């Protein structure tokens, strides 16, 4: 190792996307290794709109491992962080930076400490799978810093030990988490199905639902579901294996009708299993149910499905539209039913890819008030509006996997001190 008195800092910055499951993971067969009771499939979301950026640094000057999340120091003592750190350290290799005169040997890594700073470009508390992007980015950036030679599949098995869904964030496009059979979890890894260009017509709108309910950790509810629900066993053994085959085929063929049928059915079955848990857990709320009925009504009236919906362990809706035209029509319907509160400005109500609101000719809040009711509402009762039930919408699309960021200006740690900027 270079002279200890030289207080050098070596850093790596990476960006990792989040993902949303279209065939859900729910239930573990091993809690410590995080091994699932069924395969799952997800779509990776465009990191331009939802991602985690992480800078990891090593220096002989650091006397303990430390981490900051969105600027606030958090503890790394939890088992999940410790498992990821241990597994990555065990695979570290020699690192040399000739310009800086740094030489770290494989053995040195056992005694060197790291600093980690992580930042989500979306609200962490919004219930948008921030742990998936977070653990994937932690593992990916540490692997690069420590010159770990393993491919993203092997890294996914380490990220999985941070949070199950994190393993799917090691790739872009559509990704399958193969549950595996081995007791040590070595074959429980993510596998890329198709990249983000394969089905590039898809447009994704996330409705972040206002909710006063405190988030319940999905980990403990998952355990209760496995312990008390008969439906979850039937789902894992009989339903999901067939759906995985059908879903892979629908994705390969860009068959939107089958994709929608499977995605909606799987989300609904996951929430049914939550209801079948003792005590039952309700992740969706009235707003979530209203979004489902709006989409179901529209899909039915069109004859061919225009949009698929899926909900994770919270009330937010992830809506996948077949193309840009359908996405614009969907946004029109959503804005009609869920106009913002009067104090909200349009710019913060529809975020992400804002070009979609231009497509529907909406320039300010007044234009939302003037939207006509969707034609499929033929009832005599006037179409219902639920002002203020949605916090905001994020317009996005399928996106790419993790990348390294070479621009030092984007690093979250100071290059001289290794402390947050
Ligand atoms: C509903 O991956 O957050 O989002 O493995 O305990 O960390 P842990 O759980 P987590 O669960 C995600 C569940 C889900 C479905 C999915 O992403 O497949």
* Ordered domains of the chain (ranges, CATH): 10-195+405-410 (3.30.230.10), 203-396 (3.30.70.890)
Would you state the structure tokens that stand for residue 369, as one six-digit string?
Answer: 């008030």
Q: What is the pLDDT of residue 376?
A: 87
Rounded to whole angstroms, the Cα distance separating 134 from 147 reads 20
Strands 350-352 and 390-396: parallel
For ligand 1, atom 1, the nearest C-alpha belongs to 312
| E strands in 326-371 | 350-352
Q: Which of 273, 296, 298 is nearest to 284 (CA)?
A: 273
The residue contributing the CA closest to ligand 1 atom 12 is: 165
Q: Taking residues 203-209, what's their average pLDDT? A: 96
pLDDT of residue 122: 80
Mean pLDDT of 56-75: 96
Percent residues over pLDDT 70 in the chain: 95
Ligand 1 mean position, distance from CA 164 (Å): 6
Name the residue among 98, 141, 107, 119 with its Cα closest to residue 8.
98
Q: Is 312 in the pocket of ligand 1 (CB under 6 A)?
A: yes
**By alpha-carbon position, which residue is closest to atom 6 of ligand 1?**
219
Q: Which two tokens stand for residue 112?
A: 């060197």
Segment 257-284 shows an average pLDDT of 97
Write down the pLDDT at residue 126: 61
- Give the DSSP H/E element, type plus range, for residue 356: helix 355-359
Answer yes or no: is the C-beta of 177 below 6 A from any ligand 1 atom.
Answer: no
Please give the distance, rounded to the nearest whole angstrom, from the Cα atom of residue 129 to the centre of ligand 1: 8
Q: What is the enclosing helix (H) or strand (E) of 204? A: strand 203-209
Query: For residue 128, what pLDDT band results from cuts at 50, 70 and 90?
Result: confident
Residue 111 in this model has a pLDDT that exceeds 80: yes
Number of H helices, E strands in the chain: 12, 19
Is residue 129 scored above 70 in pLDDT? no
Q: Best mutation site among 218, 223, 288, 313 for ligand 1, i.e. most ligand atoms within 8 A of its Cβ?
A: 218
Q: Which H helix or E strand runs over 175?
A: strand 174-177
State residue 161's pLDDT score.
97
Residue 254: the pLDDT is 98
**One-character DSSP codes across 50-65:** SEEEEEEEEETT--S-
CA of 367 relative to ligand 1 center, distance in Å: 38
Say yes or no to pLDDT of 235 above 70: yes
Closest atom of ligand 1 to CA, residue 19: 17
If pLDDT is split at 50, 70 and 90, which confidence band does 2 have? very low
Do residues 2 and 196 touch, judged by C-beta distance below 8 A? Answer: no
Q: Is 164 in the pocket of ligand 1 (CB under 6 A)?
A: yes
Q: Give the span between the Cα atoms of 251 and 197, in whole angstroms.
A: 12
ipTM value greater than 0.85: yes
Residue minimizing CA distance to atom 4 of ligand 1: 312
Determine which of 119-123, 124-128, 133-137, 247-251 has the lowest per-residue pLDDT on average.
124-128
Q: Mind listing the pLDDT tens digit for each residue in 31-62?
A: 999 999 999 999 999 999 999 999 999 999 99
pLDDT given at position 5: 52
Q: Mean per-residue pLDDT for 338-342?
A: 93
Distance 118 CA to ligand 1 centre (A): 20
| Spatial distance between the Cα atoms of 66 and 58, rounded to a whole number of angstroms | 11
Indicate if ligand 1 lies below 6 Å from the C-beta of 313. yes
Asked if pLDDT for residue 213 goes beyond 80, the answer is no
Report whether residue 269 contacts ligand 1, using a CB cutoff of 6 Å.
no
Which are the contacts of 216, defined by CB distance < 8 A and separation ≥ 6? Answer: 281, 313
| Rounded average pLDDT over 180-190 | 97
21 CB under 6 A from ligand 1? yes
Contact assessment for residue 244 and residue 176, using Cβ atoms and an 8 Å cutoff: yes
Q: At how many degrees (to 10) do helices 256-275 and 240-253 cross?
A: 150
Closest atom of ligand 1 to CA, residue 34: 5
Pocket test for ligand 1, best of 165, 221, 317 (most atoms within 8 A of CB): 165
Report the alpha-carbon distance of residue 179 to residue 136 in Å, rounded.
Answer: 17
Question: For residue 175, how far is its CA from the centre of ligand 1 (angstroms)?
Answer: 14
Confidence at residue 58, expressed as pLDDT on a 0 to 100 scale: 97
Mean pLDDT over 171-194 rounds to 97
pLDDT higher than threshold 70 for residue 108: yes
Question: To test the ligand 1 pocket, which listed residue (43, 164, 226) has its Cβ within 8 A of the most ligand atoms?
Answer: 164
- Strands of the sheet containing 51-59, edge to edge, are 72-74, 66-69, 113-120, 51-59, 10-17, 403-404
Q: What is the percent of the chain where pLDDT is above 90?
A: 87
Q: What pLDDT does 380 receive?
A: 58
């Amino acid at each position: 190792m270079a002279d200890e008195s030289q207080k050098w800092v070596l850093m790596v910055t990476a960006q990792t996307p989040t993902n949303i499951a279209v065939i859900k993971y729910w239930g573990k067969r091993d809690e410590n290794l995080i091994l699932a009771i069924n395969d799952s499939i997800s779509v990776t979301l465009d990191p331009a709109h939802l991602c985690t950026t992480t800078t990891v640094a090593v220096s002989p000057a650091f006397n303990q491992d430390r981490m900051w999340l969105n600027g606030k120091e958090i503890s790394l003592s939890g088992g999940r962080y410790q498992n990821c750190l241990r597994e990555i350290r065990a695979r570290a290799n020699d690192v040399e930076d000739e310009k800086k005169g740094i030489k770290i040997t494989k053995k040195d890594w056992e005694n060197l400490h790291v600093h980690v700073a992580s930042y989500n470009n979306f609200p962490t508390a919004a219930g948008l799978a921030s742990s998936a992007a977070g653990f994937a980015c932690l593992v990916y950036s540490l692997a690069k810093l420590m010159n770990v030679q393993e491919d993203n599949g092997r890294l996914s098995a380490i990220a999985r030990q941070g949070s199950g869904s994190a393993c799917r964030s090691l790739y872009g496009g559509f990704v399958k988490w193969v549950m595996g059979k081995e007791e040590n979890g070595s074959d429980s890894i993510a596998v890329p199905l198709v990249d983000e260009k394969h089905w590039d017509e898809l447009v994704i709108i996330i409705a972040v639902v206002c909710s006063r309910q405190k988030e319940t950790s999905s980990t403990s509810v998952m355990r209760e579901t496995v312990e008390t629900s008969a439906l979850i066993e039937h789902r894992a053994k009989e339903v999901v294996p067939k759906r995985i085959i059908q879903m892979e085929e629908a994705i390969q063929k860009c068959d939107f009708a089958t994709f929608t049928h499977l995605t909606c059915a799987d989300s609904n079955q996951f929430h049914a299993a939550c209801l079948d848990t003792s005590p039952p857990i309700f992740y969706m709320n009235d707003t979530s149910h209203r979004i489902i009925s709006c989409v179901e009504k529209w899909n039915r009236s069109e004859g061919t499905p225009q949009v698929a919906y899926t909900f994770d362990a919270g009330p937010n809706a992830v809506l996948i539209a077949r193309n840009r035209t359908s996405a614009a029509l969907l946004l029109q319907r959503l804005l009609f039913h869920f106009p913002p509160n009067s104090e909200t400005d349009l710019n913060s109500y529809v975020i992400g890819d804002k070009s979609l609101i231009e497509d529907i000719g909406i320039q300010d809040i007044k234009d939302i008030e003037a939207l006509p009711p969707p034609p499929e509402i033929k009832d005599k009762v006037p179409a219902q509006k639920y002002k203020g039930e949605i916090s905001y919408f994020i317009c996005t699309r399928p996106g790419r996997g993790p990348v390294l960021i070479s621009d030092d200006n984007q690093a979250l740690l100071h290059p001289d001190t290794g402390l947050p900027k």
